[in-house]
Structure 1
């Protein structure tokens, strides 16, 4: 496991218990799923690669634009969805036909696969990558380096 992967997993797990707060990205204070990824990125690389514009809870659904997917493609390394590894960024489509608008960081692969994500009503938590979650994964990425 690379040093980057170890840092990603360690940092993601250190956010567990942070309350959910839309558009926030402060460990211990509040975050949403994108804020969690942004916080992990800052820990691993320093400055974020681009500014994040304000976004609503419906996350570009009315326009049908894949903003989150496109941003991930700009800054992360795309990999096959079947090529699961700890440290991966998972992008989820919560409803068939909807844009991808939730993400998490895989912390365990294999039989006991799990991921860390910020989830409304739960905050940052570790969830099993169970079939209901796994079938919603539409893209998988690794961190550069």
Structure 2
């Protein structure tokens, strides 16, 4: 698999800025959650979604034996070590120690990222150390 152009990923992601937060939605300008944002960027950069996304819980503290989100990303994206993830990479955050990775963002610069956050919608903000240390997995979007 060849990675998509990172600049194209960032432009597609920034087009979602200001989209209100809506759990399990994925409509630019209407509503999305963090995974819905990633799904929308996928549709623009790569094409149709390869499989339907099953319903999922909003519990960031969820624990379990499987990293379901990372497993799904591995089926269709290019995994890279989080330390090597740069602008345009999709990152999965582990929001609580020992919890599974349940939050998604897209790096837009060496120290910024874009994500959908409850009550705030899609925002771009600094990738602070508090956010950076929560990155558990990183993936590149493939070319169309």
Instruction: Compute the TM-score of the two structures, normalised by the length of structure 2.
Output: 0.91
1:34-74 CA-to-partner distances (Å, cap 9, x unmatched) read: 00000000001221011101122127926443111111111
Tell me what 1:125 maps to. Answer: 123
1:61-102 CA-to-partner distances (Å, cap 9, x unmatched) read: 264431111111111111111113110001100000001000
Number of aligned pairs? Answer: 141
Contact 1:86 1:107 in 2 (8 A): yes
RMSD (CA atoms): 1.7
Tell me what 2:70 maps to. Answer: 69
Tell me what 1:89 maps to. Answer: 90
Q: What does 1:1-145 correspond to in 2, within 5 Å?
A: 4-58=5-59, 61=62, 63-109=64-110, 113-145=111-143
Mark the runs of 5 or more structure 1 residues left unpaired by the alignment. Answer: none
The separation in 2 between residues aligned to 1:59 and 1:51, in whole angstroms, is 22
4+ residue stretches of structure 1 with deviation over 6 A?
A: none
1:84-136 CA-to-partner distances (Å, cap 9, x unmatched) read: 31100011000000010001000101xxx100000111100001110000000
Greater shift, 19-28 or 78-87, is seen at 78-87
SS at match of 2:83: coil
Greater shift, 135-144 or 53-62, is seen at 53-62
The separation in 2 between residues aligned to 1:130 and 1:74, in whole angstroms, is 29
The separation in 1 between residues aligned to 2:77 and 2:50, in whole angstroms, is 10
Distance 1:64 1:57, change over 3 A: farther
The separation in 2 between residues aligned to 1:128 and 1:16, in whole angstroms, is 15
The separation in 1 between residues aligned to 2:50 and 2:109, in whole angstroms, is 26
SS at match of 2:11: helix
